[in-house]
């Protein structure tokens, strides 16, 4: 069993690096990294995590959508490893919603994202997958993809007034349902 990897936080330069392409998905190191990420996201009860967040600067993230208080209709999906992901196309419409990040504790931001995106990635068995994602899952994908480019959600908010504390978020946003 792997020990739980610690999640690095804003200020660690790895979060600002462009992550490297994965040449060999079957590499034991990569397969172990996938398992480690799946364990980490489950422990944190998160909906996504990118490899750079555990200090492994590879183009790999996990999307693990599940229904939650704010998104009761979020699709329930098994934690899915997406390797060398790409956004092939996107709609013109952007929607704003609140995001948080395991690497940016205590802060929430109102972030514009494309509502619908067409994506591809290699799965952990080495097969190329193409999908159209919308709404919450599209948002998770774009948030995690940004991590591979050295960006965090703070870079995407339109102004500082769209940043609030976790405590205020819990009180006002969650409180209003």
Interface positions with Zn ion (CB under 5 A): 101
- The residue sitting closest to Zn ion, measured at its beta carbon, is 101
CB of 3 to Zn ion, least distance (A): 21
CB of 18 to Zn ion, least distance (A): 16
Examine the residue annotation and report whether 149 is marked as an active-site residue of this protein: no
| Options 23, 118, 120, 144, the catalytic residue | 144
Evaluated on CA atoms 70, 71, 72, 78, the torsion sign reads negative
Residue 163 token pair: 């940043």
Tell me whether residue 18 or residue 130 sits nearer to Zn ion (CB atom): 18
Q: Which run of H or E residues covers position 130?
A: strand 128-134
Residue 150 token pair: 């050295």
By the 8 A CB rule, do 23 and 58 touch? no
CB of 52 to Zn ion, least distance (A): 9
Tell me whether residue 28 or residue 106 sits nearer to Zn ion (CB atom): 106
By the 8 A CB rule, do 60 and 30 touch? yes
Catalytic residues: 144
């Amino acid at each position: 069993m792997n020990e739980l990897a610690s999640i690095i936080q804003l200020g660690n330069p790895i979060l600002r690096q462009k992550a490297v392409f994965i040449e060999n998905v079957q590499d034991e190191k990569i397969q172990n990294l996938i398992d480690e990420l799946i364990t980490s996201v489950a422990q944190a009860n998160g909906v996504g995590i990118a490899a750079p967040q555990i200090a492994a600067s590879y183009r790999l993230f996990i999307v693990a959508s599940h229904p939650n208080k704010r998104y009761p209709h979020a699709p329930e999906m098994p934690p899915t490893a997406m390797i060398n992901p790409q956004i092939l196309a996107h709609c013109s419409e952007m929607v704003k919603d609140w995001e948080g990040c395991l690497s940016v504790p205590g802060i929430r931001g109102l972030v514009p994202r494309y509502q619908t995106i067409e994506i591809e990635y290699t799965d952990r068995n080495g097969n190329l997958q193409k999908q159209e994602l919308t709404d919450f899952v599209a948002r998770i994908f774009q948030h995690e993809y940004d991590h591979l480019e050295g960006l965090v959600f703070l870079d995407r908010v339109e102004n500082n007034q769209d940043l609030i504390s976790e405590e205020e978020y819990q009180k006002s946003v969650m409180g209003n349902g």
